[in-house]
Amino acid sequence: MPVVLVHGGAWAIPARWRADTVAGCEAAADVAWAVLAAGGSAVDAVVAAVRSMEDHPTLSAGVGAAPDAHGELRLDAALVRGTDLACGAAAWLPPTRHPIDLARAILDHSPHVLLVGPDALAFGAPYGVSPCAPEELALPPDVAGIVWGCDTVGAVALDDAGRLASALSTGGTPGRHPARVGDVPLIGCGTYADDAVGAAAATGSGEGIIRVVLARSCLADLEAGQHPQAVAEARVQAMTARTGLTGGVILLDRHGQTGLFHTTPAMCWARRGGAGSASGWAA
Ligand code: GLY
């Protein structure tokens, strides 16, 4: 039975925005579920989910990206296919509407795993990935200034053929140093998938996530037979205890069992399939 679990970021979601961020997650989970229900692959499902969330203004990837300290928008995205551990990751991208499409193009068409900067975006041109005006990613005035902090969107999926995939996209953390890159494009930190084990997608402080290599560490625990919920709780709590930094993770094992946890005040998410449809803004 297929499963998809998505998150729209872990942060202090103000009460008045919780319903909207959860709605963005539900819409993404529905799009991905339609892919899976039609027999599509886990990779297609997580890309569809992340694309949907990149368009959602109160989720801060794609539209709603956060400027760095110089006021520039720089975007990151990554995709992992659990069948053959193929990866596509892109970092420090100039404005583009769907960074996850570039991660997909790199996975499908490049011998490399990670491409960075304007030349990375140029790689996507033959595959329909193009720059956009920064204004296209700007938040509507009633949203601007409120939603920053909801840094990342992510999805994990298991398809009918038993294939797993994970995807992430981020508009970055607000006011970061201009050359800073977080966990999202660093495979094994923010994201990982392995058909033999499970899939993980993180959110929150990239510096904390990198320091504990969160995604691959979670898969090591799944490999040892632990339940995804127990793994999510233990690994995210340990990250915060060791580094003082907060975040969250969504997990899916090869049996379709899910888990999620955050040490931020909230994390919006939605699930379809598996133990049933569900959504929320807290674990
Ligand atoms: N988790 C996203 C970032 O730190 O860039």
Q: What is the mean pLDDT of residues 103-117?
A: 98
Domains of the chain: total: 1
**Which domain does 257 fall in, by range?**
3-280
Point out which residues pair with 271 in neighbouring strands. 5, 278
State pTM to two decimals. 0.96
Question: Looking at residue 149, what is its pLDDT?
Answer: 57
Question: Looking at residue 150, what is its pLDDT?
Answer: 59
74 with 60: CB under 8 angstroms?
Answer: no
Residue nearest to atom 2 of ligand 1 (CA): 206
pLDDT above 60 (res 91): yes
**Per-residue three-class SS string for 29-55:** HHHHHHHHHCCCCHHHHHHHHHHHHHC
- Probe ligand 1: pick from 92, 170, 186, max atoms within 8 Å of CB? 170
Kindly give the distance from the C-alpha atom of residue 249 to the centroid of ligand 1, in angstroms, as a whole number.
12
**Residue 210 is encoded by which pair of tokens?**
């990198």
Question: Looking at residue 67, what is its pLDDT?
Answer: 82
Q: How many CB atoms lie within 10 A of CB 220?
A: 14
Q: How far apart are CA 80 and CA 95, in angstroms?
A: 22
Question: Looking at residue 37, what is its pLDDT?
Answer: 97
In tens, the pLDDT along 141-188 reads 666 555 555 579 999 999 999 999 999 999 888 788 999 999 999 999
Closest CA to 3 of 117, 158, 138, 115: 158
More reliable by pLDDT, 126 or 16: 126
Residue 250 sits in a domain whose CATH number is 3.60.20.30
Question: Looking at residue 144, what is its pLDDT?
Answer: 58
259: Cβ below 6 Å to ligand 1? no
**Residue 122 is encoded by which pair of tokens?**
């140029």
In tens, the pLDDT along 215-265 reads 999 999 999 999 999 999 999 999 999 999 999 999 999 999 999 999 999
Residue nearest to atom 4 of ligand 1 (CA): 206
Catalytic annotation present for 258: no
- Highest mean pLDDT pick, 20-24, 69-73, 211-215: 211-215
Residue nearest to atom 5 of ligand 1 (CA): 182
Q: Which distant-in-sequence residues (6+ apart) come within 8 Å of 27 by Cβ?
A: 52, 56
Atom of ligand 1 nearest to the CA of 76: 5
203: Cβ below 6 Å to ligand 1? yes
Mean pLDDT (the chain, rounded): 93
Kindly give the distance from the C-alpha atom of residue 12 to the centroid of ligand 1, in angstroms, as a whole number.
15
From the candidates 152, 170, 191, 203, which is the catalytic residue? Answer: 152
157 three-class SS: strand
What element of type H or E holds 217? helix 214-223
**Rounded (to 5) percent helix, strand, coil in the chain:** 35, 30, 40
Closest CA to 272 of 104, 107, 117, 46: 46
